[in-house]
Amino acid sequence: MIINPTNPLSLGKYWEYEDDRDKEIARKYAKKLEEKVPQGVEFVIC
């Protein structure tokens, strides 16, 4: 399972890195989700 918190509408745009706060929030929730993923599932947060 791969979690990529980047908004797909902003990829390649000059404002791509302006939403760092949103990415941090998404990473926080992804870490909580990681605790619930069964063993044997590779969990990657980009």
Q: What is the pLDDT of residues 19-31, one digit of tens each?
A: 677 778 888 888 8
Please give the radius of gyration of the chain, using alpha carbons only, rounded to the nearest integer.
12
Q: Which sign does the torsion angle of CA 29, 31, 34, 36 carry?
A: negative
- What span, in angstroms and rounded, lies between the C-alpha atoms of 39 and 32? 15
Q: pTM score, two decimals?
A: 0.56
Residue predicted with more confidence, 25 or 15? 25
pLDDT at 27: 84
pLDDT at 41: 87
The average pLDDT across 7-26 equals 66
- What span, in angstroms and rounded, lies between the C-alpha atoms of 27 and 20? 10
Would you give the DSSP letter of residue 38? P
pLDDT at 7: 67
Residue predicted with more confidence, 11 or 4? 4
- Tally of structural domains, the chain: 1
